[in-house]
Every structure is written in structure tokens, then in C-alpha cells.
Amino acid sequence: MENRRRIFLIDRKIQGYLARRLVVTWLVGGLLILAFPMTINLLYGLFVASTPFEVVTQSIVQSVWLPSLTAILVIPIGVRHIIRFSNRIAGPMYRIKKDLKKLADGQSIRPIKLRDGDFFGDVAELVNQIAEQRQQLEPQGDSRSEPSNELTTITTSLTSVSSKEPLAVGAGTE
């Protein structure tokens, strides 16, 4: 299996953000799921059934400890899953960004080939087209020592898009 990723975290900023969001969502959701039945049991036990506080709390602890432990043990599985999923995003963007920088510096690149299931295949194809057009211009005796203004503009635009803050679409929804 030569096509496996060698690096677990490709872009620590994006992938760390996703992992932290997953953990916080999991913890808050878990607390809410546990807090509601605990509150109902406490109120019912104290005011309706007139059960002593110690008995009510012992009953709550007995009914909550196993689901709580299970939720805590499942968090690492979720974090690993989200990081592996985000590799399908961060890996291609890393490669595309690296090659766009090479193109902007006037260097040639090899065609970008992404793995099955990776995102941004359409962007990689555009970069490949730009690189191919540039290579076609060079052998024809094009006397320009720098890339054309159009190519520089496209490359700069793609580079700026790929370097923007992650998850800008969801900004402000917190």
C-alpha cells in the first residue's frame, strides 16, 4: 500500500481546530444529556417521592457512571476519525498550495494527482492546466523570463484563496 499518508496531522491549525470543536461539542452534549435526567430524578426523588437526598444522589450516580465512562472512552475514536477525514481536505490543500508557490516563483511542477476520496480535485486540475499552459509557452521560444501577468494573477488568486483562514464559511455561528 504505497499510497498511504505518512503524516497524521498535515495542517495542525485546521485539524486541531476540528478536533477541539468535536471534543467540546461532545462534552457539552454529553453534559446536557446527563444533566436533564439527573435533574428530573433529583426533583422527583426529593419532592414527589420524599426520598432522602443521599439515596437520590446514589441512584443518580449508579445510573450515570457507565454512560459517562463510555462517552469519555469514545472521544479519542471521534478525534481520530475527524483528523483522518480532515486529511482528505488538508492534504490536497497542502500540495496545491506548495505547487502554486512553485508556479508563482517561476518553477515547473509535476502534475498533481490526488488520492481517491480527496477533496479539491477540481482545483488540482485547474493548477495542472495552468502548469501545462505555462510549459507549452516556454518551449515555443517565448522570450519572457517571467510568467505572464494573467498566469501570475491566477496563481496569486489561487494562493490567496488557499491560505485564507480555515472554516470561514462557519464563522460567526459559534
Per-10-residue mean pLDDT of the chain, 174 residues long, equals: 66 84 86 79 76 80 81 86 87 92 90 90 92 80 55 66 50 40
- Is the pTM of the predicted complex or chain greater than 0.85? no
Among 110, 82, 99, which residue's Cα sits nearest to residue 25?
Answer: 82
What per-residue confidence (pLDDT) applies to 147? 55
Instruction: Give the whole-angstrom CA distance, residue 172 versus residue 174.
Output: 6
Instruction: Give the whole-angstrom CA distance, residue 74 versus residue 134.
Output: 50
Each residue's pLDDT tens digit, 93-139: 999 999 999 988 988 899 999 988 899 999 999 999 999 988 888 76
Instruction: Give the whole-angstrom CA distance, residue 91 versus residue 8.
Output: 10
* Whether the Cβ atoms of residue 55 and residue 45 lie closer than 8 Å to each other: yes
What per-residue confidence (pLDDT) applies to 174? 37
What per-residue confidence (pLDDT) applies to 11? 77
Torsion of CA 100, 106, 111, 117, to 10 degrees: 0
